[in-house]
Structure 1
Amino acid sequence: MTSDNIAPDEQVLPVPRVLADEPVDLAISRSDRVFTGKIWDVRSETFDYNGENVLREFVDHPGAVAVLALDDDDRVLLIKQYRHPVRSREWEIPAGLLDVTGEDFLVGAQRELAEEADLEASEWSVLLDYATTPGGNNELIRIYLARGLRATETTFERTDEEADMELRWVGLDEVVDAVLAGRIQNPSLVIASLAAHASRQSAWTSLQPGDAPWPEWTRLHPAAS
């Protein structure tokens, strides 16, 4: 044995670090809005990276919330809605933009569930947060798990693509099977159903409180927080 009681042929492994993304705030020398759209904008930014000026253009997005509503029979509320960019009527979960100034994330999710499905819930948890397309936009989505469901006292009038939405209750296992078979591809539905399936297997111990902070969104939207 060596003086520190480690055999010469014994490998010393490093202490594992927690697997996590690393927030980086670089010096931005120029930031311009090059397109102003009805829902979101396109921004061009120049920043210093490893001593070089780098130019990138991306969709500047306010962020969004989505809701996986789960009833007492482990059925998920799905909404079929037309999405023009992909020319499809997709199965989705209720979701909406964080475009109301100063609105709390959870309040926004509760509003979307009511507006799109005429439902409210007594139990709210954060299922997970994710970035939709980090190479092309700064959109962040928080997905909530809503349980203890009941109908709202009033119903909402829906227009445009929401006017002919189809609602369906589908077992969580059936949704996961459809995801893995590639029959449904909406990202929030895919991610939420797989996360809920995994969390259920661990007795929902991965869930966070409904009012949990969202530091990554706050970091990217300091003026709105």
Structure 2
Amino acid sequence: MTSRKLIYIIDDERDICDIVSRELSAYNFDVETFLTGAQVKQALQVKSPDLCIVDLGLPDIDGIELVKSLCEQANMGVMILSGRDGVTDRILGLELGADDYIVKPFIPRELVARVNSLFRRFKKNHHEQETSVSKIAQFAGWRYDPSTLTLSGVLSCNVKESGGEEIGQGSELSSAEHELLMLLLHSPKKILSRDQLLGERVSPFDRSIDVRMSRVRKKIESNPKQPTLIKTVYGVGYILTTDVEWI
């Protein structure tokens, strides 16, 4: 039997905590609720959940700062559940690495569907890492290791002779950035539509792919405002313009 997923709910409205907790528990999730950021930070020192559902309007800490902190932790999903429905808040939350953004008022059953969708994506990503643990993608002077989510630079002139030389410490991608980059790396020089890149997300925020793509571009493009590696095909989607070698 597979272990039940643990979900932390962080919301200062006790009624919201009760509704979400009751709905998720009915679908065999283990749930713990917290009314403040301080409470969940203390709990995280003892045990990490599989997913955090975070309200942005917390009484003791800026919800965006909490989201940023949670997204920096490995092997944890982050979903924002907030009454803030402005475009700026949504884009900022996604830019920081949140995996989904749901606006209050919400339909509890839809929230469960989105949670299930996230876990299916996480499982797929984990499977990709396990099956390609020895495979590293090399492209346009970059090397990406899916097993560690690490992107590092190489000296392209030495790639064939010595396997390349790493430049600096490299950077670690978030799970959302990893998912997007892997789709592109497995389909170089092919146009991928937004629907293909969105996968099975439920009722997706239509800017989410653009925001995530912008984050990936900042890590691999010499000039993200004039990208040459990941180009936009207007009205269609995106294309990775370079060859990819798996070593």
After TM superposition, is the score higher than 0.5?
Answer: no
Q: As a proportion of its length, which structure holds more helix?
A: 2
The higher relative CO (CA closer than 8 Å, separation ≥ 6) is in: 1
TM-score (norm: length of structure 1): 0.27
Q: As a proportion of its length, which structure holds more strand?
A: 1
TM-score (norm: length of structure 2): 0.25
Q: Which has the larger radius of gyration?
A: 1
